[in-house]
């Protein structure tokens, strides 16, 4: 799983920030890593306020877009008083979304690609009438 960091002009996308964001995203999405090819992280501070939580504003934004093998990308957004909180919130939202998305896929397909609702598995005969 590759993690790509993108920042707006108000945020310094240095190596320390990339490492911190990468660790947070990897930890939150670790159980889905075999299904994810890339995660794009978009950080923004639209007002350019570097003070965290000034006047209770939630002006830091984190958008996470996960590219899944064989599926359309999925994205979530979180707003928070700090970048760290925004990244954490978005990572939790994405983990929840992937859990329900990939969970549904796993429920519909058995281990051999058969639908779980298919009563006849490999090597079974139809029930006599």
Return the pLDDT at 106: 52
The answer to whether position 88 is within a domain reads: yes
The answer to whether position 43 is within a domain reads: yes
Q: What are phi and psi of 43, to 5 degrees?
A: -105, 140
Range of the domain at 13: 2-108
The answer to whether position 118 is within a domain reads: no
The answer to whether position 114 is within a domain reads: no
Copy the structure tokens of residue 86: 């925004």
CA distance readout (Å), 110 to 8, 90, 98, 114, 123: 43, 30, 18, 5, 15
Return the pLDDT at 120: 46
The answer to whether position 126 is within a domain reads: no
The answer to whether position 63 is within a domain reads: yes
Copy the structure tokens of residue 90: 């978005």
Return the pLDDT at 70: 87
First to last CA, the chain: 50
The answer to whether position 125 is within a domain reads: no
What CATH number has the domain bearing residue 56?
Answer: 3.30.160.100
Note down pLDDT in tens along the chain; length 129 residues: 999 999 999 999 999 999 999 999 999 999 999 999 999 999 999 887 655 445 557 789 999 999 999 889 999 999 999 999 999 999 999 999 999 888 755 544 445 444 444 444 444 444 554
| Number of domains the chain is built from | 1
The answer to whether position 99 is within a domain reads: yes
pTM score of the predicted model: 0.74
């Amino acid at each position: 799983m590759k993690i790509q960091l993108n920042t707006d002009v108000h945020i310094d996308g240095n190596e320390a920030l990339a490492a911190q964001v990468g660790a947070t995203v990897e930890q939150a999405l670790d159980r889905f890593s075999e299904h994810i090819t890339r995660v794009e992280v978009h950080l923004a501070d639209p007002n350019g306020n570097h003070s965290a939580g000034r006047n209770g504003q939630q002006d830091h934004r984190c958008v996470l877009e996960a590219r899944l093998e064989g599926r359309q990308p999925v994205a979530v957004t979180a707003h928070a008083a700090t970048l760290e909180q925004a990244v954490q919130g978005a990572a939790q939202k994405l983990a929840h979304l992937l859990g329900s998305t990939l969970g549904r896929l796993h429920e519909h397909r058995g281990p051999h690609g058969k639908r779980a609702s298919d009563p006849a598995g490999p090597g079974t005969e139809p029930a006599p009438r």
